Structure 1
């Protein structure tokens, strides 16, 4: 049985160690390789000059270095000897690295630090904005079974001015499909969440969980996984996996699209939304809506006369804990 890695408590203890081990400047024209110290308590940067000039060559070169013993005696390799890199996929901004099943044999502490070291090293390659992990072609999951998704440097940094495990409460406005799948209906949901998760990711996670209001249904296929999500200049980029294509034909395409768009644009930081599938914006949401377009909110298919309900957390329900390193 696979180990599901929870970092709720681990990151709280290790974030300062990670940051402390990342001091130092890169050589001019070079990068830094990140290794583990012998006690597996922090990551250690080592100056390095890339030999390959093309992106794929650099990816392979760095993965090979991280899977090899370093020359220095006081640090250790990042990828354990019994863990193999089975391949990788690079789509222009997202690099997905596939590891063998033995990846799950690492202790939680070693896994978090190794993941941070690998991600920090690979993000130095020009053009790579996010790094995701798969194990035997399945996306790495946390203790709650949620996909960890694409990671960047912020995935391993504590939010300024906040404790990493601070629990907050907010009310989200989410849009789900009506019972006949032709319209959207609004659901206001009170959510407890951790301070290191971005609001746009919180919205998508709640959408993927489905509605709590009787008579509504999720417009997004239930098996869909969120790979990455980010906001740049008011545009929210949502990257979903292939399962998004397995849409219920009884739910209209517009309802599927605007369930995501209208929910995300309720956030003050989001004005437009672009959806991609495995990082690809070619093709359509189903038949009509081009993925290459950026969509603004559209309330025309939202039921306006339905009494709004606020979904409260059940009594005794534990507050959401940190289970991913990503934002």
Structure 2
């Protein structure tokens, strides 16, 4: 296994700790008013926020105000309205510190990867209101369900894996078990990576980044087409939604289609928090990959394709090591 230069690691840790400012429990709120408005970014691939000064003070009025603001376009193109124009909150109920939001039927047409972000932004907005302890979402008067058909139930900020903040707080390390294509493209090679990465990167996003970067083992190759870009990755109640751009549809018939799919699925389901994986292309799941594998399906771990092991390697994410570390890569 390659070893990192200890001086470089210490310098990297010092740099991040010196530049980072602890966000604390108020990380989603404006420093001036204690409130923020949450949106999706221009690419609709993550949650972003900006300070907000509400006009209302009591709970019911704040709920109405936030519902109105979430339905309005931002005056900044970098901040996109959470849901499409045809999606509406038809009504709400507030009782015993719980908020129940009833969306119209159109909410169910939001592409799955984007819907998780929409859901998160709504909850982050509403959970700022002091008297609200949880948010429940209904679609066409029925409880919202997750990718496995299970009712999502009461949501809080802690229900969402990804941190919408941009603050880099520290460096973390993880042991990742990743699955790449074999040299012949007809099986999977298991590779273990000991990774140093930015503390504001979710572990499932880290896995996808490492898969896209490709293996370090000489007996393995990247399964995912090299033109592929990651749009977003989200986790909710054990289901992981991976949204890739249309580079994923580039055909490389040297690698079997099930090897490509299970390179992603098996790597992500190594996490205890993920049971199933769905893959989307630009938010669309009504695609049959190479006319054989439906992207509308939620795939579970299947290690039958693993035919050999690769190396144990030690790496640092590119954006963290640039100009700082010599890892021998």
Query: Per the shorter chain, which TM-score range?
Result: 0.5 to 0.7
SS at match of 1:295: coil
Q: Which residue of 1 aligns with 2:164?
A: 155
- Assess if the C-alpha contact under 8 Å between 1:34 and 1:45 holds in 2: no
Q: Which residue of 2 aligns with 1:261?
A: 265
> Mind listing any 5+ residue stretches in structure 1 that lack a counterpart?
1-7, 27-31, 36-41, 50-54, 68-78, 97-118, 128-150, 159-163, 322-327
Residues in 2 aligned to 1:255 and 1:86: alpha-carbon distance in whole angstroms: 36
- Assess if the C-alpha contact under 8 Å between 2:217 and 2:310 holds in 1: no
Q: Identify if the C-alpha distance between structure 1 residues 120 and 200 changes in structure 2 by more than 3 Å, giving closer, same or farther.
A: closer
SS at match of 1:257: helix
SS at match of 2:185: coil
Once the two structures are superposed, the pairs formed by residues 112-191 of structure 1 within 5 Å of their partners are 154-156=163-165, 164-191=168-195
| 1:182-214 alpha-carbon deviations (Å, 9 max, x no partner) | 111111111101222211111111001111111
Residues in 1 aligned to 2:284 and 2:79: alpha-carbon distance in whole angstroms: 24
1:205 aligns with 2:213: no
Deviation at 1:14, TM superposition (A): 8.8
SS at match of 1:214: coil
For residue 21 of structure 1, the aligned residue among 9, 30, 52 is 30
| 1:36-69 alpha-carbon deviations (Å, 9 max, x no partner) | xxxxxx72333499xxxxx9x988x733xx32xx
Q: Which residue of 2 aligns with 1:92?
A: 110
Q: Which residue of 1 aligns with 2:299?
A: 295
- Assess if the C-alpha contact under 8 Å between 1:237 and 1:273 holds in 2: yes
For residue 311 of structure 1, the aligned residue among 287, 310, 313 is 313
Q: Identify if the C-alpha distance between structure 1 residues 22 and 287 changes in structure 2 by more than 3 Å, giving closer, same or farther.
A: farther
Deviation at 1:165, TM superposition (A): 2.5
Deviation at 1:156, TM superposition (A): 1.4
For residue 46 of structure 1, the aligned residue among 54, 67, 87 is 54
Residues in 2 aligned to 1:47 and 1:11: alpha-carbon distance in whole angstroms: 35
Residues in 1 aligned to 2:78 and 2:171: alpha-carbon distance in whole angstroms: 37
- Assess if the C-alpha contact under 8 Å between 1:226 and 1:240 holds in 2: yes
Deviation at 1:308, TM superposition (A): 3.9
Residues in 2 aligned to 1:33 and 1:276: alpha-carbon distance in whole angstroms: 28
For residue 12 of structure 1, the aligned residue among 8, 20, 31 is 20
Residues in 1 aligned to 2:259 and 2:162: alpha-carbon distance in whole angstroms: 34
Please, what is the CA RMSD of the aligned residues? 4.5
For residue 62 of structure 1, the aligned residue among 66, 72, 75 is 72
SS at match of 1:189: strand
TM-score, scaled to structure 1 = 0.56
Q: Which residue of 1 aligns with 2:243?
A: 239
- Assess if the C-alpha contact under 8 Å between 1:89 and 1:95 holds in 2: no
Residues in 2 aligned to 1:270 and 1:84: alpha-carbon distance in whole angstroms: 31
Aligned length: 230
Deviation at 1:10, TM superposition (A): 11
SS at match of 2:264: helix
- Assess if the C-alpha contact under 8 Å between 1:194 and 1:320 holds in 2: no
For residue 272 of structure 1, the aligned residue among 263, 276, 285 is 276
SS at match of 1:229: strand
Q: Identify if the C-alpha distance between structure 1 residues 183 and 310 changes in structure 2 by more than 3 Å, giving closer, same or farther.
A: same
Q: Which residue of 2 aligns with 1:324?
A: none
SS at match of 1:155: coil
